Amino acid sequence: MKKQQHRFDILSLFPNYFTGPFTESIVKRAIDKGIIEIRQINIRDFAENKHHRVDDRPFGGGPGMILMPEPVSKAIRSVKTENSKTIYLSPQGQLLTAKKARELAAYSHLILLCGHYEGVDERVIRSDVDEEISIGDYVLTDGCLAAIVLLNAVIRFIPGTLGHEDAANEDSFENHILDCPHYTKPVVFEGQEVPEVLLSGNHKLIAEWRKEQALDKTKRVRPDLAIVNKNQT
């Protein structure tokens, strides 16, 4: 049986950065199962100048260094096909959401460009990048961490990566609502008891309780999400 494979090409200056996050747990299992393939591309390998230089100072002045367009562009074009979607991780991008992660899971080939220093030359974004995505309103020292987060969020929506097929659908945010609290053994932990309803065996009551807990929590911590929920209470 041949499964449809999803390929991720990660372009960065630190291919080893990803060893931990991609060799453990669910990402590792997805690779082992042959559901996804992750390839590391070192942007420096595409620097054709003498010292394999990939950065230079910004025109117009200012602090820091900018990734030069040639090596970045060549790196992208070395892996791009008709089915590729090229994403640049940057604080200037559109915010990553569960909806966006699900949408990206439909692509068989994602190219993730990780910036370093003060970012990449804008012309690469114009010529070779399809979408600029941000994982949140903060700046990181390099885009590698953002790529790890995006890949992880995306693969949860690829069939077969999670043990239980519907798990991604039931989790937080898919329905603009936070997850309900969860409990496991023991029934009493340091004097705190598991809510009685969860031990009742009454599935209808349990479902109602979870919904109510999730809505309460959402209204308290994320009233911005709760607005969307007004009509489904």
Is residue 91 part of the annotated active site? The answer reads: yes
Peptide bond into 186 cis (omega under 30): yes
Q: Which residue among the candidates 171, 174, 179, 222 is catalytic per the annotation?
A: 171
Q: Which residue among the candidates 45, 118, 130, 174 is catalytic per the annotation?
A: 118
Which of 170, 178, 171 has its CA nearest to residue 223? 178
Residue 172 to residues 1, 67, 87: CA-CA distances in angstroms?
A: 33, 36, 24
- In the complex, least distance from residue 168 CB atom to ligand 58G, rounded to whole angstroms: 21
- In the complex, least distance from residue 115 CB atom to ligand 58G, rounded to whole angstroms: 3
Is residue 126 part of the annotated active site? The answer reads: no
Look at the chain and count its residues. Answer: 233
Contact residues toward ligand 58G (CB under 6 A) are: 89-91, 115-119, 134-136, 138-140, 142-143, 146
DSSP code of residue 195: P
Residue 118 or 131 with smaller CB distance to ligand 58G: 118
Residue 73 or 218 with smaller CB distance to ligand 58G: 73
Residue reference for tokens 């200037």: 92
Distance CA 233, CA 227 (A): 11
Residue 59 or 138 with smaller CB distance to ligand 58G: 138
Cβ-contact 116, 91 below 8 angstroms:
no
- In the complex, least distance from residue 9 CB atom to ligand 58G, rounded to whole angstroms: 17
- In the complex, least distance from residue 86 CB atom to ligand 58G, rounded to whole angstroms: 15
Residue 149 or 206 with smaller CB distance to ligand 58G: 149
Q: Which residue among the candidates 45, 58, 91, 222 is catalytic per the annotation?
A: 91
DSSP letter string, 22-46: HSSHHHHHHHHTTSEEEEEEEGGGG
Residue 61 or 163 with smaller CB distance to ligand 58G: 61
Identity of the amino acid at 52: H
Distance CA 58, CA 188 (A): 60
- In the complex, least distance from residue 21 CB atom to ligand 58G, rounded to whole angstroms: 16
Which active-site residues does the annotation give?
Answer: 91, 118, 156, 171
